[in-house]
């Protein structure tokens, strides 16, 4: 088994079933884990990527000393699975935690003293990818992984694949020469072979992972690489209308309606008069005002006015769909309540 592993590692940058972990340079001695993407269940731990020590143990000091810089860059940071048998259609997360970056200054040559890595690099891959190997776990796959986590809720595995294919163009150019940029190019990319094909500026993300920065820092650095940041999750409707008003709707109506719908304003003689935020009870009083108006006229009456339908104040929210949605949610909570 030892022998076959040596051969597999040596052939790694060719075709064999192995993976390389890279941050700036290859990550040696990083702990490898695999978990199921959807369930989060860990399915494999206990391996680590090759480093100087393990390579010497495998090939002997003499052979190791004969390696040139490029060979070291290609042989550190590798992982092979013995007889991998992952479910081909399931999405997995392969992660490499900690270890040492063998080219932290990114000059393409192994560093004298590799620099410790404090974070984890992830790649989202199918069981088929894991069984076949031949991909790299890099800041580029980290970015795609964070993007997928953000977007994957409630979509099928198929749709997730399409989404990743679409997102690939923000990160890399074609690496497998199939004249198409898709997710295969994301997991196929690595610094050693495809530095020219990198499109995204992954420096901030690389440093954040190296330093073991907080999840939120890493997520922000990753999502910043995609042109259209995924939409903020819509505010969860709180069960309690007054709570929801305090959190979201009050700001909207004070800004968009309060200019006229206040004591002394041009719409002060309507039933829609907002107490100013200087009134300590404004949340409760304004919620009650809306509750009464919804009871008398229904939510649509107010929503229609806000869009300029038979409204002295014209179209106030037509250009602000997010604000409209908040008002709509608030009023529907009042209608339900």
Q: What is the pattern of x (binds ligand HEC, CB under 6 A) and - over residues 21-60?
A: ----------------------------------------
Judged by CB under 6 A, the stretch of 150-158, 200-208, 265-273, 282-290 that binds ligand HEC is 265-273
- 223, containing H or E segment: helix 215-223
Residue 291 engages ligand HEC in binding (rule: CB under 6 A): no
Residue 271 engages ligand HEC in binding (rule: CB under 6 A): yes
Instruction: Considering the complex, state which of residue 111 and residue 328 has its C-beta at the smaller distance from ligand HEC.
Output: 328
Instruction: Considering the complex, state which of residue 233 and residue 321 has its C-beta at the smaller distance from ligand HEC.
Output: 321
Instruction: Considering the complex, state which of residue 193 and residue 307 has its C-beta at the smaller distance from ligand HEC.
Output: 307
Instruction: Considering the complex, state which of residue 174 and residue 297 has its C-beta at the smaller distance from ligand HEC.
Output: 297
The rounded distance, in Å, linking the Cα atoms of 35 and 187 is 17
**Residue 327, phi-psi category: left (phi > 0), alpha (psi -120 to 50), beta (remainder):** alpha
Instruction: Considering the complex, state which of residue 72 and residue 267 has its C-beta at the smaller distance from ligand HEC.
Output: 267
Of these, 60, 230, 298, 312, which contacts ligand HEC (CB under 6 A)? Answer: 312
Judged by CB under 6 A, the stretch of 185-193, 197-205, 233-241, 250-258 that binds ligand HEC is 250-258
Which residue matches tokens 């392969």? Answer: 94
Residue 272 engages ligand HEC in binding (rule: CB under 6 A): yes
The rounded distance, in Å, linking the Cα atoms of 15 and 38 is 29
Of these, 144, 267, 331, 333, which contacts ligand HEC (CB under 6 A)? Answer: 267
Cβ neighbours around 312 below 10 Å, total: 10
**In sequence order, what DSSP letters do the residues of 198-213 get, joined into one string?**
B-S--HHHHHHHHTT-
Nearest by Cα to 230 from 327, 141, 155: 155
Instruction: Considering the complex, state which of residue 1 and residue 263 has its C-beta at the smaller distance from ligand HEC.
Output: 263
The rounded distance, in Å, linking the Cα atoms of 10 and 170 is 32
Q: Which DSSP state fits 115?
A: E
The rounded distance, in Å, linking the Cα atoms of 224 and 220 is 6
What is the rounded (10 degree) CA torsion for 54, 57, 58, 61?
A: 110
**In sequence order, what DSSP letters do the residues of 52-97 get, joined into one string?**
HHHHHHHH-HHHHHH--HHHHHHHTTEEE-SS----TTSEEEEEEE
Find the shortest distance in angstroms from Cβ 334 to ligand HEC: 13
The rounded distance, in Å, linking the Cα atoms of 256 and 259 is 7
Q: Of all residues in this chain, which one has the CB nearest to ligand HEC in the complex?
A: 313
- Whether the Cβ atoms of residue 22 and residue 77 lie closer than 8 Å to each other: yes
Judged by CB under 6 A, the stretch of 39-47, 83-91, 160-168, 252-260 that binds ligand HEC is 252-260
Nearest by Cα to 253 from 300, 316, 299: 316
Which residue matches tokens 């995924």? Answer: 230
Instruction: Considering the complex, state which of residue 90 and residue 270 has its C-beta at the smaller distance from ligand HEC.
Output: 270
Backbone φ and ψ of 43, nearest 5°: -115, -10
Of these, 129, 146, 191, 305, which contacts ligand HEC (CB under 6 A)? Answer: 305
Residue 266 engages ligand HEC in binding (rule: CB under 6 A): yes
How many residues bind ligand HEC (CB under 6 A)? The answer is: 19
Nearest by Cα to 51 from 24, 81, 23, 21: 21
Residue 273 engages ligand HEC in binding (rule: CB under 6 A): no
Instruction: Considering the complex, state which of residue 129 and residue 305 has its C-beta at the smaller distance from ligand HEC.
Output: 305
Judged by CB under 6 A, the stretch of 102-110, 136-144, 215-223, 254-262 that binds ligand HEC is 254-262
Binding interface with ligand HEC (CB under 6 A): 253, 256-257, 259-261, 266-267, 270-272, 302, 305-306, 311-313, 316-317
């Amino acid at each position: 088994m030892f022998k076959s592993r040596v051969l597999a590692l040596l052939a790694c940058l060719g075709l064999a079933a192995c993976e390389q972990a890279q941050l700036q340079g290859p990550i040696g001695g990083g702990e490898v884990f695999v978990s199921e993407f959807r369930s989060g269940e860990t399915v494999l731990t206990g391996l680590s990527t090759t480093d100087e020590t393990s390579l010497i143990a495998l090939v002997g000091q003499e052979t190791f000393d004969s390696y040139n810089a490029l060979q070291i860059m290609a042989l550190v940071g590798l992982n092979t699975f013995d007889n991998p048998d992952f479910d081909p259609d399931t999405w997995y997360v392969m992660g490499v935690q900690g270890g040492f970056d063998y080219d932290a200054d990114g000059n393409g040559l192994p560093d004298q003293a590799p620099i410790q890595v404090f974070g984890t690099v992830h790649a989202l891959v199918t069981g088929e990818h894991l069984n076949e190997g031949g991909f790299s776990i890099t800041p580029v796959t980290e970015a795609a992984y964070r993007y997928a986590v953000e977007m994957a809720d409630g979509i099928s595995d198929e749709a997730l694949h399409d989404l990743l294919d679409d997102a690939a163009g923000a990160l890399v150019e074609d690496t497998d020469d199939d004249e198409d940029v898709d997710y295969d190019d994301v997991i196929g990319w690595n610094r050693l072979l495809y530095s020219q094909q990198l499109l995204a500026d992954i420096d901030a993300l690389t440093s954040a992972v190296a330093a073991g920065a907080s999840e939120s820092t890493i997520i922000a650095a990753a999502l910043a690489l995609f042109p259209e940041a995924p939409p903020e999750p819509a505010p969860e409707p709180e069960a309690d209308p007054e709570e929801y008003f305090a959190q979201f709707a009050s700001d909207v109506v004070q800004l968009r309606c309060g200019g006229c719908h206040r004591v002394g304003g041009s719409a002060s003689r309507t039933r829609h008069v907002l107490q100013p935020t200087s009134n300590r009870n404004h949340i409760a009083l304004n919620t009650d005002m809306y509750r009464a108006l919804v009871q008398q006229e229904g939510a649509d009456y107010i929503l229609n006015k806000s869009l300029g339908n038979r409204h002295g104040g014209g179209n106030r929210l037509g250009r602000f769909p997010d604000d409209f949605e908040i008002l709509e949610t608030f009023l529907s909570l009042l209608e339900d309540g």
